[in-house]
């Protein structure tokens, strides 16, 4: 069975509104959104400048400005909520990284102790062998 990662734990805490805000922020922060919005604005302006029958939003495009203001009024808090969750995710990841580093440090220290013990035992054997050789040569 796979152990739950910090990311899995974080995703389990997200509510529907959190996921929705993250999705909207991700969408609005993309080139795709920017390009489509630009196309829509250009079409809006062209239709109102060259409209043959009726200009529903004549220059200076007050209705378009109102739409952008409304979009910004909703987008800003959604993006801020998403950023707050990103900060919480980063804190959770940092905590998990810290705990992992502590475990790794403890394992490295245990290996160092084991290696030191082996080295000491080898040196003791070498000294014993040298003393024996010294006794046989004397």
What average pLDDT does the segment 57-68 reach? 91
Q: Are 63 and 56 in contact (CB under 8 A)?
A: yes
The share of the chain scoring above pLDDT 90, in percent, equals: 49
The share of the chain scoring above pLDDT 70, in percent, equals: 98
> Does residue 63 lie within any of the structural domains?
yes
- Residue 6 CB burial class (10 angstroms; 0-12, 13-18, ≥19): middle
What secondary structure letter does DSSP report for 60?
A: T
Question: pLDDT tens digits, residue range 69-102?
Answer: 999 999 999 899 888 888 988 998 899 999 999 9
Q: Which of 7-11, 14-18, 42-46, 107-111 has the lowest mean pLDDT?
A: 7-11
> Does residue 128 lie within any of the structural domains?
no
> Does residue 73 lie within any of the structural domains?
yes
> Does residue 112 lie within any of the structural domains?
no
If you average pLDDT over every residue of the chain, what do you get? Answer: 89
């Amino acid at each position: 069975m796979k152990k739950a990662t910090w990311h899995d734990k974080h995703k389990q805490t997200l509510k529907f509104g959190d996921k929705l805000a993250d999705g909207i922020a991700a969408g609005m922060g993309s080139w795709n959104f920017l390009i489509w919005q630009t196309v829509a604005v250009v079409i809006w302006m062209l239709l109102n400048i060259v409209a043959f029958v009726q200009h529903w939003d004549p220059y200076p495009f007050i209705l378009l400005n109102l739409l952008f203001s409304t979009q910004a009024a909703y987008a800003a808090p959604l993006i801020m909520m998403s950023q707050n969750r990103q900060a919480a995710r980063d804190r959770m990841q940092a905590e998990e990284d810290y705990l992992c580093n502590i475990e790794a440090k403890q394992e490295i220290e245990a290996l160092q102790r084991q290696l030191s013990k082996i080295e000491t035992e080898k040196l003791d054997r070498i000294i014993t062998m040298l003393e024996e050789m010294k006794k046989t040569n004397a």
